Amino acid sequence: MGVLNVTPDSFSDAGAFFSPEHALAQARRMIAEGADLFDVGAESTRPGSDRVCAADQIARLRDVLPGVAAMGVPVSVDTTLAAVAEFALDAGAVIINDV
């Protein structure tokens, strides 16, 4: 499973893949390295992180999620918000990871 956080404050990658271009390039790298499932998150769940509203999470996913889904691997999206889950499923996600 490749973990792809499209947040500016990710605890796992320090926001390295916040831009859509960097996120999609990282997804391609992870596929080349053998990832056969992606988990994409648009809100940090690190201790002390601020909540991110649905509109901002969707904005972060809008230019990334369809491109990752088009790469031919199943995509999971981390969210606790129904509006984000609905967007994600419509944009190609097949799993909702309600953290």
pLDDT confidence of 18, banded at 50, 70, 90?
A: low
pLDDT at 51: 87
Report domain extents, the chain: 2-97
What would be the CATH architecture of the domain defined by 2-97? Alpha-Beta Barrel (3.20)
Give me the phi and psi of 46, to 5 degrees please: -65, 150
Q: Which tens digit of pLDDT belongs to each residue from 39-53?
A: 898 887 777 778 889
pLDDT at 15: 46
CA-CA distance, 45 to 90, in Å (whole number)?
A: 23
Give me the phi and psi of 85, to 5 degrees please: -60, -45
- If we measure between CA atoms, which residue out of 1, 9, 8 comes closest to residue 30? 1
